[in-house]
Every structure is written in C-alpha cells, then in structure tokens.
Amino acid sequence: MKHCEGCNGCKIDDKLVKIVDKYRGVDGGIISALHEVQDTYGYISNISQKYLSKELNVPMSEIYGIITFYSRFSLTPKGKYNVQVCIGTACYVKGADKVLARFKEKLAIEEGKTTEDGKFSLEAVRCIGACGLAPAIVINEEVYGKVDDKKVDELIEKYSKM
C-alpha cells in the first residue's frame, strides 16, 4: 500500500502500483494499463484514474475519454455476471430490443447498472461478432444466440444459482 502524493494521500493498492510500474515510459501504455486495471478490479475507479494520470503522465480528460469510448471499460463496479445484449443491426432486426427489455424487467435494473446483490450487470453493446445467431448476447465470455424471453428467464435462473 502506498500513498499517492498527487491526490490528497489516497491509498494506492499494491496491485495498481505494479500495473502502473509496468507501463511507465511505454508508448501508448495507458490503454494496456486500463485493460489490466479493468480486469483486476472489474472497473476503473476515480482513484485509479488519478494515479494513472499522474504516474503515466496522461491528462485525466484523455483517460476519461478512453474509458467512455470503449464499452469494455467501466466507471462503476460490474456484477459477477456481466450481461451484454447486442443491439447491432442484425440483432436489432431480430428483436434485440425485446431481449434487452426482458433483462431490464427481470433484473429490475437499467442499462449500465448492477443489481443490488452484485450478481448481474447489464449493458447494451454493438455487434459481438455472432450475427448469424441473432439476437445474441454475451454473459462474461459466454455467447448465447437466438435469445427470446424464455431463454432470458432460463439464463437468469441458471446464473442466479452459480
């Protein structure tokens, strides 16, 4: 644990220190560092952003721009199971809006949110490369195709028990 002089003595976790040390002085290292922070913590906290900014010499505005541009990055903690509903064209014409609506209804959360028990988070994303299976979704790394209301219910039940 170390203190970050640049941000009112915030405590910086050792894992974050290691990630940043790895990319210090590396051209374009900020993207790789953000990926590692996302994988390690499940999101990129404000403290992490400030520490990355100061140590890798990248403006906060640029870091924020990168995080919000790529759907893979999150500013808030994601659930244990991150549900990504594809709303790309192929999926949309096959009813992706209904799939998204069903998840919202059953999980009682909006896009970009996480259930109170921390189990599920929900996102709408563009083309996940499974257009032939439209409408398709991804839960963590697992792709599911031809999703309808029944499948949504089954998947929620399955993951709730895991």
Give the binding site for ligand FES (CB under 6 A): 86, 88-91, 127-131, 134, 136
- Of 50 and 102, the one with the shorter C-beta distance to ligand FES is 102
- In the chain, alpha helices (H): 14-23, 29-41, 46-56, 60-69, 89-93, 96-107, 149-160
CB of 144 to ligand FES, least distance (A): 11
- Of 16 and 91, the one with the shorter C-beta distance to ligand FES is 91
Exposure string over 74-109, b if 16+ CB within 10 A, otherwise e = beeebbebbbbbbbbebbbebbbeebbebbbeebeb
- Of 42 and 88, the one with the shorter C-beta distance to ligand FES is 88
CB of 103 to ligand FES, least distance (A): 15
CB of 146 to ligand FES, least distance (A): 12
First to last CA, the chain: 33
CB of 114 to ligand FES, least distance (A): 23
Exposure string over 114-135, b if 16+ CB within 10 A, otherwise e = bbeeeebbbbbbeebebbebbb
Q: Give the residue nearest to ligand FES (CB).
A: 88
Count the neighbouring beta carbons within 10 Å of the beta carbon of residue 69. Answer: 9
CB of 100 to ligand FES, least distance (A): 12
> 147 and 135 in contact (C-beta within 8 Å)?
yes
- Of 118 and 129, the one with the shorter C-beta distance to ligand FES is 129
